[in-house]
Structure formats: C-alpha cells, structure tokens
Amino acid sequence: MKKGEQDNTSYQDGKIKVFIVDDHPIVRSGLTNELKKYPDIKVIGEAASGDEAIEKIEREEPDVILMDITMPGMTGLEATVLIRKKLPKARIIALTMHDNKDYVFEFIRLGAMGYVMKDANPDELIKAIETVFSDVPYYSSTVQKTILKQHAEILRKSKKSFIEETLTSREFDVLMHLVSGLSNKEIAKKLFLSVRTVETHREHIMKKLNIKNVAGLTKYAISQGLIDVK
C-alpha cells in the first residue's frame, strides 16, 4: 500500500499488528519468534492473562489478537467479550488446545473471527492471521468439521424445507385475482376454469406459501411488490 492510501485495515510500518494472550511464557516466546520470520506481521505486545490483556490492548490497538482460552483469572472467553466492547474492530483468533465444540461455538458466538489449534503448523497460523485481518473468518480443518457436523444435525432435524416452493403460472394468476378481491366463482369465470379447480389452486397456493387466509396472501403480495398499496 502506498503512502497516503487508506482502506478498512490498519497497519503499523506496513505490518499487521498482532497481540498474544497466553499464560505460558514459552508459548508466547515461541509464537513471537515464529511470527518475526514473516515480514508482514509485527508482534506489538503480549499478556499472560485476560486481565493483563484488557489493560494493555486498548492502549496498543492491535489488528489481530491470538487468544488462549484457559488462563488464571479472566478466561479467554471473558476477555473476548470485553475486548469486543472496547475494540470492536480487533480480530480475535482463539489459539488453543481445546477442540471441544462448546468452546468453538461459544467463541464464535462472542465474536471471535478465528479458531486455530496450537498444534497447527506456522503456515496455517499465518494464513489465519492474514485471513481474519481481511475480515474473513478462519477455522482450522478440525474446527470446520465440528461446525459442519453441528449444522448437518440442525438441518436434518429441521421440519421446514429451505427451498421455497414456487407457484405455477396458473397459481400465480389465481393469486393475483384473489388479492384483487375476486371470489372463487369470479376467478373461475375470468380464467375459464371450474370453481373446484380454482379452489384446488387456492389450497395449493396457501400450502406453498404457508399462509392461512386471503388477508395473509394480500400482505405477501404487497411485500413482494406484486400489488401497489394505495
């Protein structure tokens, strides 16, 4: 990026500013040394607990935060809530040994943009940092499988189809006449159909749209821009 140019990201000396939160000094040191190898990334600070992170992060204003979950005092989950309030633009990546689905879903619910296992290779961590920095979520392959499995279970239990049934051209004609105020008999005469056929079309329309009466059909037609409201 040239001097003077701006986008929705923030750089320090042309680098992504990263802050590490982990209660193990050897982990923080190892991450810092590894991230130093990448010219587009700069570690600007670290904390050994959620409490310390809250104290430092607002001052440092990092772009990406690598957050452990289980730490003495304030947990990574609790810290994430507070950080999101203080620095809503900061991207948080859970960097942890926990692949428990409850932790995964709770971190996502609280606003974390990434979830990476600590045994991931450095290249994956760099990819995660760069991805969330671009405002795109990143989850390790193990976590992706957990999320997909959970969603698959939800979808299988759903009673409602996710594909809306479409009306046939004849059903659409009947719908338009219904919402214009015509009776079944009047519609039958206009469309050269039997009253029974019009009634059948009407039943199908209401079933497909999950609407119980003509008033509901009228609201639907208005919401879809099919008729003008005067």
Q: Which domains does the chain have, with CATH numbers?
A: 16-156 (3.40.50.2300), 169-223 (1.10.10.10)
* Length of the chain, in residues: 230
State yes or no: pLDDT of 7 exceeds 60: no
pLDDT for position 184:
94
Is 64 in contact with 91 (CB distance < 8 Å)?
A: yes
Instruction: Please report the sign of the dihedral spanned by the C-alpha atoms of residue 92, residue 97, residue 101, residue 103.
Output: negative
pLDDT for position 160:
66
Q: For 30-55, how does the pLDDT look when each residue is reduced to its tens digit (9 = 90+)?
A: 999 999 999 999 999 999 999 999 98
Q: How far apart are CA 186 and CA 198, in angstroms?
A: 10
The amino acid at residue 163 is I
DSSP labels for 11-40? Answer: -BTTBEEEEEE-S-HHHHHHHHHHHTT-TT
Is 45 in contact with 61 (CB distance < 8 Å)?
A: no
% pLDDT > 90, the chain: 55
Q: For 95-152, how does the pLDDT look when each residue is reduced to its tens digit (9 = 90+)?
A: 988 877 888 889 989 989 999 999 889 999 999 999 999 999 999 888 888 888 888 8
Q: Tokens for 206?
A: 């209401």
Q: For 154-185, how does the pLDDT look when each residue is reduced to its tens digit (9 = 90+)?
A: 878 877 666 667 889 999 999 999 999 999 99
Q: How far apart are CA 78 and CA 5, in angstroms?
A: 36
Q: How far apart are CA 161 and CA 106, in angstroms?
A: 27
State yes or no: pLDDT of 12 exceeds 80: no
pLDDT for position 229:
60
The mean pLDDT of the chain is: 87
pLDDT for position 13:
66
- Alpha helices in 94-210, H assignment, sequence order: 101-109, 122-133, 141-157, 169-179, 184-191, 195-209
- 202 pLDDT tier (thresholds 50, 70, 90): very high
